[in-house]
């Protein structure tokens, strides 16, 4: 009787440790999602700021400046529900404005244009990486949250179900090709 009781206690302790380890892992994944989302937000804000700054610098033609400024402003001011669409619109505006190499060269030749083009190139390259890191963390957390043990024992607590950030983040070819 005593041996059976000891084995039951050992089994319950082992199960408890395993569930605690799984809950800790899920908590770390949620923290990773939060950190990746903060990094993504910072990169999106940087890209919108550089685009807005470039649009007001007077190095672009007036039509391109207006298109780029409005898209960048909309991306910076977008509510969370509309953020993905606004950021995709900014990506499309960047591709429209910097779709051809002569436009990029004209910006680079303007006073201060080389620095602005370099900053924009760095910003548009970092956004896809930050989005990929965020979405990888979301994918890992979703996979763990789909396990039966996580649902049955409510190991996720009250944490919201993680959502991926889906947007068009393809950089302008002429801008990235020149820097490569």
Block mean pLDDT (10 aa), the chain, length 180 = 92 94 94 97 97 91 94 96 97 94 87 88 96 97 94 90 95 75
Question: Where in the sequence is the domain holding 158, given as residue range(s)?
Answer: 46-177
Residue 50, in any domain of the structure: yes
Asked if residue 40 belongs to a domain, the reply is no
Element at 136 (helix H, strand E): helix 113-145
Whole-number pLDDT of residue 113: 83
- Farthest-apart Cα atoms in the chain, separation: 88
Q: What is the rounded (10 degree) CA torsion for 36, 47, 77, 167?
A: -60
Please give the tally of structural domains in the chain: 1
Please check whether residue 168 lies inside any domain of the structure.
yes
Question: Does 14 reside within a domain?
Answer: no
Helix ranges restricted to H, 78-112? 83-97, 101-109
Asked if residue 15 is part of any domain, the answer here is no
**Residue 135 maps to a domain:** yes
Would you say residue 140 lies in a domain? yes
Q: How much is the pLDDT for 178? A: 55
**pLDDT for the residue numbered 112:** 82
Q: Is residue 16 part of a domain?
A: no
56: Cα within 13 Å, side-chain hemisphere: 10
């Amino acid at each position: 009787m005593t041996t059976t009781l000891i084995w039951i206690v050992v089994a319950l302790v082992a199960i408890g440790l395993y569930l605690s380890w799984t809950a800790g892992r899920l908590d770390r994944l949620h923290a990773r999602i939060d950190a990746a989302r903060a990094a993504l937000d910072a990169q999106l804000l940087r890209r919108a700021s550089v685009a807005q700054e470039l649009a007001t610098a007077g190095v672009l033609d007036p039509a391109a400046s207006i298109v780029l400024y409005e898209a960048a402003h909309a991306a910076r001011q977008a509510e969370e529900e509309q953020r993905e669409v606004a950021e995709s619109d900014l990506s499309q505006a960047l591709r429209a404005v910097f779709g051809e190499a002569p436009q990029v060269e004209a910006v680079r030749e303007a006073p201060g244009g080389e620095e602005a083009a370099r900053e924009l190139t760095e910003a548009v390259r970092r956004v896809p990486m930050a989005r990929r890191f965020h979405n990888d963390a979301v994918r890992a957390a979703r996979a763990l949250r789909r396990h039966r043990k996580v649902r049955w024992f409510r190991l996720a607590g009250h944490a919201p179900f993680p959502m991926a950030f889906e947007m068009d983040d393809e950089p302008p070819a002429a801008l990235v090709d020149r820097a490569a």
